[in-house]
Structure 1
C-alpha cells in the first residue's frame, strides 16, 4: 500500500472513486451494457475468456467494462475470479471433427471433403475505415448467421490415412496434466505446454511465431486447417455410468503442417503444430501452433538455437498476468531499496573521485 503517499488510505479510496468516474465517462452518453459488449465486441470477449482460462461471456464482458477496455487487466480480473470457483471434475476431450463449423479454411488443399467456408473474417477487407458502421448500417442477417451443419473431416486426418504425417500423440497419452493445479517444472510434457500456450499472451506468441518465419527457427509451415465453430462439452458422471452433455462452446482450432526430413528412426514426413483456444481467435491459434512446433525441436532431434525453441524462455514469459505483475510492481514503493543503492553509488563515486585526483595529481598523493 502507498502508505507514504499524502493522505494514505483516503488517497487510495479517492483514486478508486476517480477511476469509477473515468470509467463511466460523459454522463450524457448512454452507459455500455454487458450485452452490447458481448454482441459487438465479441473478439475482445473471446480473448479475455481464452487468456483468462474461463469460458463465460458475461463475466468476460464485465471484466472488460470494469477495466475500461484494458484487456490484460480484464484477463487478470477473470483469472482472479476463476480461483474462487469450485472444481467439479474434468470434461471429456472435445471432438473438433464433429464441430458445427462457422469458418473453415485450408492453405494446403483447395478441394477438401466438406468444402471451405470463409465465415466471419477480416482477411478480405480493404482495411479502410468505414463511416457507415458509425451510422448504424444494416447487416444481412441471412449472411451473418451462415454456418455448416455437417461435420467435416480434419485435413490432418487425410494426411494421416496416407501415412504422410506423424501420428496424433494426443491419442496415445494416458494422463493429462493440469497447469492450474500443478507447479511448472521444466521440461514440460506437451499437454501442459499447450495449456500454457493456450492462455499465453497473444502478442507475445505472435511475435515468437513471426520470428520463426523470419529465420529464428527451422520453420516452413503450411496452414493445414483453421476451423471455428461450436463443439459439445461432456462430463462423465460416475454415479450415472455415462457422459452428460453440458452444452456447447465456441472454439478456434489450427493445425500447422511442417515438413520434417526424418532421422534414423523416423522416415521423412510432415509434423504438426497445434493451437486450440476459446472463441474466435485464429491469430492466437495460429501463433500458438507455430510456437508449439518450434518448441518440439529437441524432441525431433533439431538444434535449439532460437528463442521460440527454448521452452523455459517461452513458457516463463508468455503469461501476461505474471508479466504485468512483475513489470507493474515497479510502481510500488521501493524507497528502502533505492536509498541503499543511492548510498552505495555515493560511496563508489567518492572512491572514483579520489582515484581521479590521485591520477591527476600524483605528487599530491605522495
Structure 2
C-alpha cells in the first residue's frame, strides 16, 4: 500500500530556511543590493512591474531578490502585495503625446515628424558575448543625451489627417477595471488591453508570432514605438483641479495594419495598440499585434479559427499567475485523490483479469 509521507510545520520551516540559504548563495560573494537589481537588471524589474500591475521599481527589485530571479514568482509577490494597498481614487488618462521620449522610432516613415530617436536599444548590437563585462571594468560613458521634453506628435495623427486610418472613437464611458471585476466574455477593448498588459510576455509573444505566420492574416507595421516618462495627474476634489502626483516610464506601440474595408467602411489602415510599464518593447509590440487580431469582429472581418482571434482562449490563458497556480498545485499533496484512482485502476485490472479467465474457461469447455 502507498502511505502518506508525514511532515508538518517543522519540515516546512526547514524548507524555508534552506530556501533562504540557497537564495543567499556563496557567502564569500558580495550580496546583491536592491539598488543593483533596480539599476542593472532594469528590464527584469520592468517586466515584474508590468505583469504585477504595480509601478514601483524598488518593490519589484525586492521581489526579484526574494524569488531568486524567478520572475513569475516575483510577479506573484507584487500582485499579492498590491492587493493590500488602499485605493484613493483614479488618475486622469496619461498623455503619451507629451511623453519625454528616450526612444521613439517608426518603421513606416523614415523622416518621421519629430525625428527618430534610437535611444538605448539592442537592435543594432552583435549577439556576441561581451567578455569585457565579466572583467568588471569601467563602462565607457555614452555621449550626453537629453530626452525630448517638447510634445512629440503620434505618427498615426498624420495618417489620420489624410483619412486613411481609422479614427479611435472618443467615449466618456468608464473603462472596466480588471483588478476589481472578474473577466466576463465578451470583453470590451479596455478590459482586453488590461488583460494583455498583465499577461505573460512569452505567451503574448507566442500569440503575436502566430499572427505573423498566417494564423489570423494580420500583416502589421510598427507605426510608432516610443519609450519615456509621462506625468501622472489626479483630480483633487478639495482643490477643484488636477495636480501632478508623479511620473511613470511607459512603452507605447501603435501598429498600422492592412484592412480591405467592408460594406460600410472604405479600405483603410487599422490600429493595434500596446502600452506597458517600463521599457518593454517586445511585450508592447506583441500586445499590439494580439489586440488587432482580437478586433476581427468589430471590424467585420472573417474569423479564420486562429488561436489569436479567440478572445476567451487568449485572455483566459495569458495570465501567468493563474496558470502557475493551476499548474503547480498538482505537486502539492493529493494523497486521497490518488488513493481513490489507485483503487479504481486495481479494480479495473481485476475485472479485466477475471474476464480473461472466464473467456479462457469457456474456450476450454468448448
Cα distance in structure 1, aligned partners of 2:309 and 2:144:
40
Per-residue CA deviations over 1:230-273 (Å, capped at 9, x if unaligned) read 00000011111100101111000001111111111111111111
Match for residue 125 of structure 1? 125
Match for residue 265 of structure 1? 264
Match for residue 282 of structure 2? 283
331-340 vs 45-54, which deviates more? 331-340
Cα distance in structure 2, aligned partners of 1:255 and 1:365:
80
Q: Secondary structure at the match of 1:126?
A: coil
Per-residue CA deviations over 1:288-307 (Å, capped at 9, x if unaligned) read 01110011112212222111
Cα distance in structure 2, aligned partners of 1:173 and 1:264:
28
Per-residue CA deviations over 1:47-78 (Å, capped at 9, x if unaligned) read 00000000000000000000000000000000
Q: Contact between 1:358 and 1:365, CA under 8 Å: does it hold in 2?
A: no
CA drift of 1:205 comes to 0.3
Per-residue CA deviations over 1:324-363 (Å, capped at 9, x if unaligned) read 0000000111111111111111222222233334445533
Q: Residue 308 and residue 264 in structure 1: after superposition, are their counterparts in 2 closer, same or farther (change >3 A)? A: same
Q: Residue 242 and residue 284 in structure 1: after superposition, are their counterparts in 2 closer, same or farther (change >3 A)? A: same
Match for residue 209 of structure 1? 208
Match for residue 101 of structure 1? 101
Q: Secondary structure at the match of 1:230?
A: strand
CA drift of 1:173 comes to 4.8
TM-score normalized by the length of structure 1: 0.96
Structure 1 residue runs without a partner (length 5+): none
Cα distance in structure 2, aligned partners of 1:264 and 1:302:
11
**What is the total number of aligned residue pairs between the two structures?**
363
Per-residue CA deviations over 1:162-200 (Å, capped at 9, x if unaligned) read 11111113x325211110001111000100110010010
Alignment of 1:58-207 (within 5 A): 58-143=58-143, 145-169=145-169, 171-207=170-206
Q: Residue 365 and residue 320 in structure 1: after superposition, are their counterparts in 2 closer, same or farther (change >3 A)? A: farther
Alignment of 1:186-335 (within 5 A): 186-304=185-303, 305-335=305-335
Match for residue 11 of structure 1? 11
Match for residue 52 of structure 1? 52
353-362 vs 159-168, which deviates more? 353-362
Structure 2 residue runs without a partner (length 5+): none
Cα distance in structure 1, aligned partners of 2:173 and 2:33:
45
Mapped pair 1:33 → 2:30: no
Q: Contact between 1:358 and 1:364, CA under 8 Å: does it hold in 2?
A: no
Cα distance in structure 1, aligned partners of 2:336 and 2:243:
57
Cα distance in structure 1, aligned partners of 2:358 and 2:224:
72
Q: Secondary structure at the match of 1:143?
A: coil
TM-score normalized by the length of structure 2: 0.96
Cα distance in structure 2, aligned partners of 1:217 and 1:365:
64
Cα distance in structure 2, aligned partners of 1:357 and 1:256:
69
